[in-house]
Structure 1
Amino acid sequence: MNKLFTRLLLSVLILSCIHSSAQTTDSIFRKKIVVSKVSTAPKIDGILDDKVWESAPIASNFIERQPVNGKPIPDSLKTEVKIIYDDLGIYFGAVMYDPEPDKILKELTERDEIGNDDFFFILLNGYNDRQQSLQFIVTAAGVQYDAKMTNDSEDSSWNAVWFSEVKINDDNWVAELFIPYSELRFPKKEVQTWGLNMEREFRRTRTRYSWNYIDNSKGGFSIYDGEIHGIENIKTPVRLSLQPYLSTYVNSFDGDSEVVFNGGMDLKYGINDAFTLDMVLIPDFGQTKFDETVLNLSAFEVQYAEQRPFFTEGTELFSKGGLFYSRRVGDAPSGYPNLNENETISSFPSKVDLVNATKVSGRTSGGLGVGVFNAVTKNAYATIQNSETQENREELVEPLTNYNVLVLDQRFGDNNSISVINTNVLREGSFRDANATAALLSITNKNNTFRYNVEAKSSWVLTDSTKFGMEGRAQVANISGKHRFTTAINFRTIDYDINDLGFSSNTNYINYYGYYGYRYLQPRGFLNNLNLNFNLNFNRRLQPDLYYAYNFNFNSNFVTKDFLAFGGGFEMTPFGVNDIYEPRVKGWYVKQPAYYNPWVWISTDYRKKFAVDLNTDFQKFDEKNRQIAEFRFSPRFRFSDKLKLITSVSAIFSSNEQGFVSFDNSQIIFGQRDRNTLITSLESQYIFNNKMAANVSFRHYFSEVDYHQYYTLQRDGSLEDNSFYTNPHDTTYNSWNLDVRYSWWFAPGSQLTFLYRNSIESFFENSGFSFSENFDNLFEKPQFHSFSIRISYFLDYNRTKNYFSKPQKEERVGLRFPPKMTLGNNQKG
């Protein structure tokens, strides 16, 4: 360990020296546009006939970003964008010429989705630091998409309320947008200078054009912003919005029905120009998407995606360092009841109720980002029954708990940052408490060709005793040119544990990593893109030292000029693996044979009405008859610009795999098993217009496990036949989910949703059912049916206050809605 810390210390010192010479990327050419202020707001209708547009400055001379980087836009696709501003916000009027306007692609989708569409794209950076931007996109079908961009990382869960209309004309299409200042972030200065870039997607040829030139050969595109000048003497309006909701659920399970009514509210308040308070009061997450559950036989829990809107929106600061896994908040209880003789658990809560949750986040003009998250959950109890007396009692399995995250992220230069993150979990009483801390340093050199990263993390878990663990990482990456490489060293100590508010699985290792990649920077021959990469991983156990695994893999990705994408790869562990996790006991390991794993995939052109994705993967072990074969077939059909269907069938066949089964007295029992898994899914959407959509989502997961033989694990990692262990462990698991959803965005930021949900889960302690027998058994299980209605309404302070203004003041329309604005087909923000 001393050698390890010495290596990391040297890395930090080297990076400190590099930092002293790091400079900004001011040598990058930045276009500038000086915009003018208007006293009358244009009508947002997709027609640029308002007088205020006549003398507006024009941004033009767009440049191809991909596939041919740096080529001027052809005259036939000339793109001009007019920009003006007033006391309420900033306006964009984009005219995008097209010699064949009847062929403009305009598939309707739900909000925050882009299908087979032309679109217009705006990146606005109020602090002009080339590291954080707000993204606003409108498609030729009038659908809005918005996101936060941080160093080219996109968070599309962020939603704003802004306004847009599109119109297709004889030789062009027009996108007219209004973005209120209440949705932007900028410093409190008399004279503003904002970062700006704009892009146009010409979908028929899948060509992207940007206003300010973006060099694809190095760095990320966020550093290539141009600039807006001329915005002066504007004030950030009061940023206060409320979103009250009402919901009702009619639930039925195993013959029992209940009707539930909920009401609550989300609140957002701009504390100042930089920081925003988000709060959810009496939360309701009953209409979130179902989890894609699996039969888990591994040593680690499955990490499911967060589906709750409050926890997915605006989390770019909180995700730094990987310490925050928001599903821990309101997840399963951390405790387990103490059972007396003749007692069994009759009910155990699967979730803990959330009392409230609060986020405060933002970034100062000096580049300091601050994020504070806090949430409180209720007590949760298990019900225990005495089998002799039939009496019930309750026992606390999760007490009142507070979850807290604090993030400080200081940016400097154009692409550098240093961050400190702390997470804390405090449970009332004698239950487990936990704390985790991380420090991160990321530096890019002055030429934007190399990036250097150092991370140091620690965890404390407090129960009857204190458990302390550490994680560290140092990395150097070449991020420019055709040839790119990365080298890194990572380690985790045996007691590293962030699972109270984060997610960590394997521990007690040191990893040495190397990467080499080659890519086309311009189309060549019949290919638009080519990307090849080679990866080496060498892993050892830390305590006590032991060879763990040596892994090599190769990946390839090709895209033809007809937009057929295909590729493949190969992976191998030529020296086998000493698996230190599968035994489930510290200090033990099991020897796994070498394996060789080729795969290929193909994805046809999504511009076509019919497209298909196909994957095949074959893993062969250096052991007789032991292999894993995987196939996935996913066709999709777009019947029209309103209706599409996506289906998927995946099959995984694993033969003679060996894995942990159980403990038998002091012995660790392994089993040899066959496992077959079939996953079928369907997604279908009918989009009535850009405010109204119907969606059907279906998934059936089936997995069957059949054991042939049992073994006892030996101290040297080998397996010895065990003919005395006869406990059955064959398994058949089914998970069935169906959602039918109708959504109507009836006003900006406001939504009405109807949802019908049907779900079934079955677990049988045997295998070998026929196809029909399996479904007969599945549908004999209790089914969960739920029909719910939820309505939420967006209330903005600046708009609402005018409802109560005196008659003589009614002409002063609120800051969010300019005087001549029509809502038209605007969608939820």
Structure 2
Amino acid sequence: MKPNKYFFLILFLLSGKIFAGNNLSVEPVKSAPVFDGKVDELYKSGILFNSFKQLEPDIFAEPSVKTEIYFLYDQQNIYIAGNLYQPKNGIKSSNGRKDSPIILDGDAIGIVIDPLNNGNSAYFFSINPSNAIVDGTLDAYGIWDFKWDAIFNSATSIEDDHWSFEFQLPLSSISFQDKDEQDWGLMFRREYAATKEIILSQIVDKNQPFRISDFHKIKGLAGLKKETNLFFTPYSFYSFRNNINTKQNESKTKFGGEVKYNPLSSMTILATVNPDFAQIETDKLIINVDDVPTSYPEKRPFFTESSDLYPGLAVNTRNIEDIDVGIKLRDVRDNIKYDLTWVLDSKQNKWYTGDFRWTDNQTFYVDLIGGIKQQKERTDYNFTTNLRTWFFDKRLTAYTWFGTINKQNAKNEFESVNSVRWVTRELTIAVWNHFKTKYYNPNITGHNTLSNEILFDAWISYSSINESGFFRVITPQIKNQYVSFYTNPELSYDYLTLSLNTTLNLGNALGNWNFDISYFPSAKKYFRYRNVDGFSEDKIFQDAFSDFVLVEQNKDGWQLDFNSDYSKIFGTKFSYDNRQVRKSSTDNFSGELYWKIAPTSVITYSLEYVNLSGSEYQNKYNQVIHRVKAEYNITDKINLRGIVQLNDAAMTSLDNYESSNPVINFTLSWQYMSGSYIYLVYNKQELNWSDRVNSSATKFNDQSITLKINNVFNIY
């Protein structure tokens, strides 16, 4: 007897929570799954995601490999596990310390979670076959931020025809809704390096494939709570410093700690006392010949807790140096997100920063951002408001900024920004303007910027996308920038840029390479020359940095950038720019070479080079920075990193100086349990200087060894 046609339907419905659309539900489990990096039987009672689609290279096409991922939860944790099918000998994976860029240069699985279900922000977690991990946040514009860090557990296993992963996220690590029953957003992203496929668990809109509001909806999560509401993380620190020149030694012992309290599921209070960040990697130096100083990214965990906030120029926490005490209050609700931070630094200056964001999660959001530095002699502040609105299914974005500062000699200066952008997968059209008054530079609590200028930008680009063949993506762009001065708008010029970005597929052996070439046609342009001696008063202008005169510069120039496929054993990237600097011919070059010696080891060499031949407005100048970085991952929890950085500069001028600034750093880190580390750090830094007065002088030459131990205690 043949089975009734309804038999298979009934069997399907009884077989578990098989993926069948965007809205899904599952009951909480009563016991945790076995945590060994494999998919045990308990996971098969959860939600199965197995209908993946390609995003790249052939959008909406079926992937060339199969993916199966399961979702479970209990009252304190989220559990996700999966089987990612591919041949064992084709797996490309590098071990690395947490958040290292090499982790995502190969095969990996990404988990993106929207626990507020507001479509406005999400957390992401990535795991590769070596169980190396990355975490961060995703905002409403599809921008991935890798600075945020969480405590979670992961494990992996490699079999002949697939690799598997397991992921446990304690709810105490994230903010979520304060409801008895709630819905969450969820998305998965797989990187398959062999064929350069990016594979998503679903694609709703090809123009915005990572739009958070389009994630799968996990319905009816019940009884969620944070198992631990109070964490205490003390640390001990011992440092021995030796001055090689003076033969003087200095030892120091320091204690500090951090308290993290979650009074609500959406709220976090963070306090830190006498923190130390010896384990943080030395900044990669960048050669800068512009007027505006280089701004380096924030890496300190106390501040990166709110890395999803504080856009714009108003707040730059890198201006806060040594911290004695810091307190942070952060709350994330359905329509409101805010952060309030107070810091007392080692010079007894008080810093206040805040960001309050209100949104309907569909058509607009409003930001109010502020930074205050309170010193004994004066108080400086920056405040910025930001309104963004979306139209036509978020393809059209319009936003406006208004910022003001109050600092010494620059009271009530302001900036204004307005922009409209139309963005789809193939087409981008945008206009943008920026007004900055004579002395507007929020650099005391915010970022440095050039003041006394008016900018109008307009650009258009179109991408031709081919899912197969040699040329995968070809994107020409034309951009024009109109520049004038706030105090003298009649002085103006245009700056045209013609560019072409191309992604080439060079076969499985070499992968995808990206090339970007830009041409800057000859036209009347001006630069700001800051030695105003001998110029008449009517030719001299002012900005927040100094007096200046305008000098015409109209030579054309070009810039070339390319990078190879970083999932391969060897790779490189390169940039060359020959645009004039203050009428001086310029060779500005940067490059990088890497070698993945083994899945546990990688060595990288980078070079920054600039040579200015000189002009009547620019001294002859040469600077070279060599940097070698080697990483050896003894296990997925023990990492050894070494950095050698050599920085040599020479300028022909009245002083005729030369300088050399070598830096050596070795760091051994061991995550002996989730969130708890031991660090052993060696640093050596030297500065040598010579000029017409001092034929040879060493400013300093010292070395130090630091041992730091921290441990996370779950109080309740």
Q: Same fold (TM over 0.5)?
A: yes
Deviations 1:419-440 (A, max 9, x none): 1112222222xx1311221111
Partner residue in 1 for 2:98: 111
- Please give the alpha-carbon distance, in whole angstroms, between the structure 2 residues aligned to 1:188 and 1:782: 55
The SS at the match of 1:36 is coil
Which range is displaced more, 243-252 or 756-765? 756-765
Partner of 2:254: 262
Rate the CA distance shift 1:124–1:754 in 2: closer, same or farther, 3 A.
same
Q: Does 1:357 align with 2:357?
A: no
Is the 1:738–1:758 Cα contact (8 Å) retained in structure 2? Answer: yes
- Partner of residue 424, structure 1: 372
Gaps of 5+ in 2: 1-19, 507-511, 533-539
Alignment partner, residue 145 of structure 1: 134
Q: In structure 2, do the counterparts of structure 1 residues 46 and 218 end up closer, same or farther at CA, with 3 Å as the change threshold?
A: closer
Name 2:491's counterpart in structure 1: 547
Q: Which residue is 2:84 aligned to?
A: 96
From 177, 195, 219, the counterpart of 1:187 = 177
Report how far residue 284 of structure 1 moved: 1.6
Residue 299 (structure 1) shift = 4.3
Give distance in 2, aligned partners of 1:788 and 1:178. 33
Q: Which amino acid in 1 is paired with 2:375?
A: R
The equivalent of 1:518 in structure 2 is 462
Q: CA deviation at 1:512?
A: 0.8
What's the CA shift string for 1:592-615, capped at 9, x where partnerless?
321211122332232332222233
Pair 1:282–1:650, CA change in 2 (3 A): closer
Query: Which letter maps to 1:594?
Result: N
The yes-or-no answer on 1:373 pairing with 2:352 is: no
How does 1:807-818 map onto structure 2 within 5 Å? none
Distance (Å, rounded) in 2 between the aligned partners of 1:157 and 1:231: 28
The reply to whether residue 532 of structure 1 matches residue 476 of structure 2 is yes
Q: Would the alpha carbon gap of residues 283 and 205 (structure 1) be closer, same or farther in structure 2, given more than 3 Å must change?
A: same
Identity value in percent? 17
Deviation at 1:444, TM superposition (A): 1.1
Which secondary structure does the structure 2 equivalent of 1:37 belong to? coil
Pair 510,64 (structure 1): closer, same or farther in 2 beyond 3 Å: same
Q: Indicate if the aligned counterparts of 2:410 and 2:439 stay in contact, CA closer than 8 A.
A: no
Deviations 1:106-143 (A, max 9, x none): 21111122154311111111111111111111111111
Deviates more, 1:255-264 or 1:77-86: 77-86
Corresponding residue for residue 491 of structure 1 = 435
- With structure 1 as the length reference, what TM-score do the two structures score? 0.77
Q: 1:297 to 1:790 in 2, by over 3 A?
A: same
Gaps of 5+ in 1: 1-28, 331-352, 380-399, 660-671, 708-727, 799-829
- In the alignment, what sits opposite 2:387? 441
CA distance in 1, matches of 2:289, 2:568: 40
Distance (Å, rounded) in 1 between the aligned partners of 2:582 and 2:713: 64
Q: Which of residues 55, 70, 73 in structure 2 aligns to 1:85?
A: 73
Aligned match for 2:361, one of 406, 410, 413 = 413
Greater Cα shift, 524-533 or 184-193: 524-533
> What are the superposed Cα offsets for residues 356-393 of structure 1, whole Å, 9 maximum, x if unpaired?
1121112212x1111101111244xxxxxxxxxxxxxx
Task: Work out whether 1:213 is the aligned partner of 2:203.
Answer: yes
Q: Indicate how the Cα distance of structure 1 residues 91 and 512 shifts in structure 2: closer, same or farther if over 3 A, else same.
A: same
Query: Within 2, Cα distance between the matches of 1:137 and 1:282?
Result: 32
Note if 1:243 corresponds to 2:203.
no
Report the Cα distance in structure 1 between the residues aligned to 2:576 and 2:459, rounded to whole angstroms: 24
CA distance in 2, matches of 1:92, 1:62: 16
Aligned to 1:123: 112
Q: How big is the shift at 1:153?
A: 2.5
Give 1:548 deviation, angstroms.
4.7
Q: Is residue 564 of structure 1 aligned with residue 532 of structure 2?
A: no
Indicate the RMSD between aligned Cα atoms, in angstroms: 2.5
Equivalent in the alignment of 1:603: 563
Q: Which moved more, 1:785-794 or 1:631-640?
A: 631-640
1:594 matched to 2:562: no
Residues 185 and 57 from structure 1, CA distance in 2 versus in 1: closer, same or farther, beyond 3 angstroms? same
| Residue 633 of structure 1, CA deviation | 3.7
Distance in structure 2 (CA, Å) of the matches to 1:373 and 1:788:
29
Checking the alignment, whether the CA contact within 8 Å between 2:524 and 2:552 is kept in structure 1 is: no
Deviation at 1:730, TM superposition (A): 2.0
CA change 1:460–1:782 in 2 (3 A) is closer
- The match for 1:784 is 702
Q: How does 1:696-735 map to 2 (within 5 A)?
A: 696-707=642-653, 728-735=654-661
**Residue 271 (structure 1) aligned with residue 294 (structure 2):** no
Residue 434 of structure 2 aligns to a residue whose secondary structure is: strand
Partner SS state of residue 172, structure 2: helix
Task: Evaluate the alpha carbon distance shift between residue 592 and residue 293 of structure 1 in structure 2; reply closer, same or farther with a 3 A threshold.
Answer: farther
Q: Distance in 1 between matches of 2:293 and 2:190?
A: 43
1:136 partner letter: F
Partner of 1:188, secondary structure, is coil
Aligned CA distance change for structure 1 residues 500 and 549 (closer, same or farther; 3 Å): same
Between 1:155-164 and 1:125-134, the stretch displaced more is 155-164
Question: Counterparts of 1:680 and 1:499 in 2: how far apart (Å)?
Answer: 29
- Of residues 95, 101, 122, the one that matches 1:133 is 122
Cα separation, partners in 2 of 1:103 and 1:292, compared to 1, 3 Å:
closer
What's the offset of the Cα at 1:47? 2.4
Which of 406-415 and 439-448 deviates more? 406-415
Name which of 400, 403, 406 aligns with 1:457. 403
SS of 2:374 mapped into structure 1:
strand
**Do the aligned partners of residues 602 and 154 (structure 1) sit closer, same or farther apart at CA in structure 2, a change above 3 Å counting?**
closer
* Cα distance in 2 between the residues matched to 1:692 and 1:621: 45
> Structure 1 525/581 Cα, relative in aligned 2: closer, same or farther at 3 Å?
farther
Q: Aligned with 2:589: secondary structure?
A: strand
Matched residue count: 676
Distance 1:689 1:536 in 2: 51
Deviation at 1:275, TM superposition (A): 1.4
Q: Which amino acid aligns with 2:277?
A: F
What one-letter code is carried by the residue in structure 1 that aligns with 2:83?
V
Summarize the Cα distance change of 1:175–1:147 in structure 2 as closer, same or farther, 3 Å threshold. same
Alignment partner of 1:225 is 2:225: no
Question: How high is the TM-score relative to the length of structure 2?
Answer: 0.89
* Structure 1 residues 307 and 730, CA gap change in structure 2 (3 angstroms): farther
Residue in 2 that maps onto 1:44? 35
Aligned to 1:750: 676
Question: 1:542-575 deviations in whole A, cap 9, x for unaligned?
Answer: 1133425421112322121231222211124610
Measured in 2, the distance between the counterparts of 1:581 and 1:512 equals: 24
Mapped partners of 2:296, 2:170: distance in 1: 35
